[in-house]
């Protein structure tokens, strides 16, 4: 029971992390100090896409699922399991990544303009 809870919490935190990656730059328009947290999240996002490094949240969820006697996440990871093919078709992965990048860059441009 506890391991399943750990897996579920890791999944929820992962979704929150990805949501913050997409729109967290806009929060910095209101709360300026949050830009540093968002820069760290954005850097991690780029690092994971470019290098394929596995996210600790994916590892935590997979571990919790396996310890609870459930099937682990597929080798392709969290995004392939929960997002690609579920929220958008797999063939639009690069378009979705581009959309998030544009959203982040737009939020940063707005941050800079609002700061002046």
For 18-48, how does the pLDDT look when each residue is reduced to its tens digit (9 = 90+)? 999 999 999 999 999 999 999 999 999 999 9
- Using one digit for the tens of pLDDT, what is the confidence trace for 41-63? 999 999 998 998 989 999 999 99
Quote the CA–CA distance of 15 and 57 in Å, as a whole number: 10
Quote the CA–CA distance of 104 and 86 in Å, as a whole number: 23
Per-residue confidence (pLDDT) for residue 86, from 0 to 100: 92
Beta bridge partners of 88: 84
Residue 1 pLDDT > 90, yes or no?
Answer: no
Domain span at residue 96 reads 2-115
CA 109 to chain centre: 21
Per-residue confidence (pLDDT) for residue 74, from 0 to 100: 86
Q: What is the mean pLDDT of residues 88-102?
A: 94
Dihedral sign from CA coordinates of 23, 93, 14, 54: negative
Number of domains into which the chain is organized: 1
Per-residue confidence (pLDDT) for residue 113, from 0 to 100: 96
Per-residue confidence (pLDDT) for residue 116, from 0 to 100: 83
Per-residue confidence (pLDDT) for residue 100, from 0 to 100: 96
**The length of the chain, given as a count of residues:** 116
Q: What is the pTM of this model?
A: 0.89
Q: Which residue has the higher pLDDT, 13 or 72?
A: 13
Per-residue confidence (pLDDT) for residue 75, from 0 to 100: 81
């Amino acid at each position: 029971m506890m391991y399943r809870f750990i897996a579920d919490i890791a999944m929820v935190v992962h979704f929150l992390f990805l949501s913050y990656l997409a729109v967290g730059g806009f929060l910095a328009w209101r709360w300026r100090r949050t830009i540093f947290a968002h820069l760290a999240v954005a850097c991690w996002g780029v690092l994971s896409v470019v290098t394929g490094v596995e996210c600790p949240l994916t590892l935590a969820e997979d571990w919790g699922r396996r310890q609870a006697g459930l099937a682990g996440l597929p080798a392709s990871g969290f995004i392939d399991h929960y997002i690609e093919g579920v929220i958008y078709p797999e063939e639009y992965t690069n378009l979705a990544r581009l959309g998030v990048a544009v959203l982040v860059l737009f939020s940063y441009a707005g941050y800079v303009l609002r700061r002046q």
